[in-house]
Amino acid sequence: MKILLLTPDIPFPPYGGGQLRCFHVVKELAARHEVFLVGINRCKEPEGISEIANYCAAVRAVRPYEPRYQPPRLAALRSLHWRLHELRRAPEPFRWAYSPEIVSLIQRVLREWKPDVIQVESTMMAQSLLQMQRASSPLRALMMYDVVAQIERQKIALVQSWRERWKRWLDWQKAMAMEKRICHAFDLCFTMSEADRATVRQWYGRADVLVSPNGVDVQLYQPLPPLAANAKPEILFTGYMAYTPNHDGAQWFCRDILPLIHRQMPEAHFTIMGRSPKPEVAALASERVTVTGEVPDALPYFRRAAVCVVPLRMGSGTRLKILEAFALGKAVVSTTVGAEGLEVVPGQHLLIADDPPSFAAAVVRVLRDADLRERLGRAGRELVEQRYDWRQIVREIERVYETALQLNVGTLARWNVETLER
């Protein structure tokens, strides 16, 4: 097959969850098919383009869209004009991923390269296809990393001011309208979890949604040796720290949870590892909190960690940070939101807690109980080997494409999702 892949980032180096998924999907697909990648070069790292080009038939990178707002000169009109501007424009997560340059490039690739499948990574990237004629287009597949509207809805409860709540409510409504239009414009629609599939079915009325879970490279990520008995109690939180759920989680943990842990274990140390920390996250650094920013190698931090935490209060999709910790044999404490969408059993694969006292108690329990750490780590490793290996996940995507092309799904008004899941 010839597969055109549209990505919101150049997926190398694979820093965050979306980049990790995209990198492994590219690597697996390119081993058996021709892949043409069109991505937004947000990080402006030329070595990333040359590295991912080693896997692809071709790579084209475009700059992120940076529209300029030009208010009227008369001060009396500016406030009204700004409010009307806010009502009209796309919700915040969608603003940078669409431009006439992207549309023009995709049209040229479709015309000259003639792919069998267009695979779009994330709903943000899907806006460009809405501007194109549908008749002669190849099979369209959408990978919904998360349900953006669900995250926008979760943000409403985390702000106090009525003006901020109104702005969040408006972004939620606009995101719902945008996502509904997008997910009905594709022949195939994949979510990362059963929970997100249920949300798409309920909110957007699309019944034929498939699930393609996130994964981990179980051959690369091997279980780490147990910690020494006298090892320092180290707590680790990983992720792209410019992403709202991650930097909110880091602040919540430091403000409301870590002080409760220190009452029982003053020697406990917390490390926040991930690139592009927001100023609010960088400000959390102290004698007992380390904020690393980007690191060349994550393994030394995992090796020292007694427990990996996922203190997320918002989010959708599934967390690759949990799958990586599982693959390395590390114990995990997460909120319900953090572990949502993964086929985990609380108490068997990880510990779940949703308020500061219970989260702190769960972390202290893991820090003090080496047998519990080992049992959770072993169960997590077994789970990713059985269910979350990238090789198995991408093979399923390929099988769906092959079946859809044979059935000519793109020309059918209605089709049975069970046919493709079989």
Note the pLDDT tens digit of each residue in 248-269.
999 999 999 999 999 999 999 9
**Sign of the Cα pseudo-torsion (321, 324, 326, 332, in order):** negative
Is residue 244's pLDDT more than 90? no
Judge whether residue 419 has pLDDT over 50: no
User: Going along 167-217, which residue ranges are E strands?
Assistant: 188-191, 209-211
Q: Is residue 298 part of a domain?
A: yes
The three-point CA angle 214-351-373 to 5° equals 95
- Inside any domain, residue 45: yes
pLDDT > 60? residue 1: yes
State whether 118 and 13 are in the same domain.
Answer: yes
Q: How many CB atoms lie within 10 A of CB 155?
A: 21
Q: What is the pLDDT of residue 412?
A: 44
249 within some domain: yes
Question: Of all residues in the chain, what percent carry a pLDDT higher than 70?
Answer: 85
Q: Is there a single domain that holds both residue 22 and residue 131?
A: yes
41 with 183, same domain: the answer is yes
| Residue in 333, 329, 361 with CA at minimum distance from that of residue 347 | 333
| 140-192 pLDDT, tens digit each | 999 998 888 888 888 888 777 888 888 888 888 888 998 999 999 999 999 99
Contact 55, 27 (CB under 8 A): yes
Question: 377 and 395 in one domain?
Answer: no
Residue 414 has pLDDT above 80, yes or no: no
Domain count of the fold of the chain:
2
pLDDT at 413 over 70: no
Quote the pLDDT of residue 415.
Answer: 45
**292 in the same domain as 316:** yes
pLDDT at 369 over 70: yes
* Chain segment 7-51, per-residue pLDDT in tens: 988 888 777 778 889 999 999 999 999 999 998 876 656 677 888
Can you tell me the distance from the alpha carbon of 317 to that of 313, in angstroms, rounded to the nearest whole number? 13
pLDDT at 287 over 60: yes
3-state DSSP call for residue 220? coil
For the stretch 51-87, pLDDT in tens is: 888 999 999 988 776 655 555 555 545 554 445 445 5
Q: What is the pLDDT of residue 199?
A: 92
Task: Tell whether 369 and 308 lie within a shared domain.
Answer: yes
Question: Does pLDDT of 237 surpass 90?
Answer: yes
295 and 365 share a domain? Answer: yes
Query: Which has the higher per-residue pLDDT, 236 or 294?
Result: 236
CATH of the domain at 355: 3.40.50.2000
Domain membership of residue 262 (yes or no) is: yes
Predicted local distance difference test score (pLDDT) of residue 45 = 61
Domain assignment of residue 78, yes or no: no
Length of the chain: 422
Maximal C-alpha separation, the chain = 69
Predicted local confidence at residue 393, as pLDDT: 94
In a domain, 414, yes or no: yes
Instruction: Examine the domain organization and report whether 406 and 347 are in the same domain.
Output: no
Query: Residue 360 belongs to what H/E stretch?
Result: helix 356-368
Nearest to 240 by CA among 319, 340, 308: 319
Q: Which domain holds residue 107?
A: 2-71+87-215+390-421
Mean of pLDDT values over 86-106: 71
238: CB partners within 8 A, 6+ apart: 273, 274, 298, 301, 308, 321, 324
Contacts (Cβ under 8 Å, ≥6 apart) of 414: none
- Of 73-87, 88-102, 211-225, 344-358, the range with the highest mean pLDDT is 344-358
* Domain identity same for 239 and 196: no
Q: Across the chain, what does the average pLDDT equal?
A: 86
Q: Which residues contact 197 (CB under 8 A, 6 or more apart)?
A: 191, 209, 210, 211
Q: Please write the tens of the pLDDT for every residue from 305-353.
A: 999 999 999 876 678 899 999 999 999 999 999 998 899 999 999 999 9
Residues 383 and 399 in one domain: no
Query: Residue 313 falls within a domain, yes or no?
Result: yes
Residue 421 reports pLDDT greater than 70? no
Question: Same domain, yes or no, for 261 and 138?
Answer: no
Residue 228 maps to a domain: no
**pTM of the predicted model as reported, rounded to 2 decimal places:** 0.81
User: Is there a single domain that holds both residue 50 and residue 132?
Assistant: yes
What does the pLDDT average to over 88-101?
69
DSSP 132: S
